[in-house]
Structures are given as structure tokens and as C-alpha cells.
Amino acid sequence: MAKTCMIEKEKHRRALNKQYKERRKKLKATIMDKETTMEDRFTAVMKLAKLPRNSAAVRQRNRCELTGRPRGNYRKFKLCRIKIRELASNGQIPGMTKSSW
């Protein structure tokens, strides 16, 4: 189980990303558009820099939905490798069986 503070920090980052997503998208479009003036592009860069760092999607980390473990996650299941193995062994994941020979 991951530390509770780390899980909460990740929740906060996801909320900030959701809140600022449209603003960041518009500012980045302005910055990347070569037909806008250099002054407008520079002001867009400055506005983008003033937004919270944790609102960037790059700052998020995939975590296990059950334990909050940050490493060894499968995106399809949103679970870590340990929990996938446990659930598959118990037969709780539809269509997945643990192989044995």
C-alpha cells in the first residue's frame, strides 16, 4: 500500500489537470502557431509559465487503483502486477486464467 499523502497528491494533480486543461491547450496552440506575432507568443509563454506546474499532464503518474502502487502497472486494468496476479489466481478477472503446467 502506498503512502496516503502520495495518493492524495496524485488526486490533486488529476483535479488540477482537469481544471486547467482547456487553458493550457489554447496557450500551447498560440505558442505553436507560427503566424501569430512574437509578442503574442511570448505573452502566451509567460501565461503558461504562471499556471500551476501540477496542472501539466506530464506530472501525473499511473497508480494501482487498489493499492496506489506507482510501479508495475497495467494500463488496461489500472492495476499493479501484484494485484493482477492475485485477482487472476482467484478467478475474479473475467477471461483471464493463471496458467499452470
| Model pTM score | 0.82
Contact (CB, 8 A) for 40 and 53: no
Contact (CB, 8 A) for 75 and 62: yes
pLDDT at 70: 95
d(CA 89, CA 3): 26
pLDDT at 81: 95
d(CA 42, CA 56): 19
For the segment 84-92, the average pLDDT, to the nearest whole number, is 91
DSSP 54: G
Helix locations, the chain, DSSP H: 4-32, 38-50, 81-90
Segment 6-56, tens digit of pLDDT: 999 999 999 999 999 999 999 999 999 999 999 999 999 999 999 999 999
d(CA 56, CA 39): 24
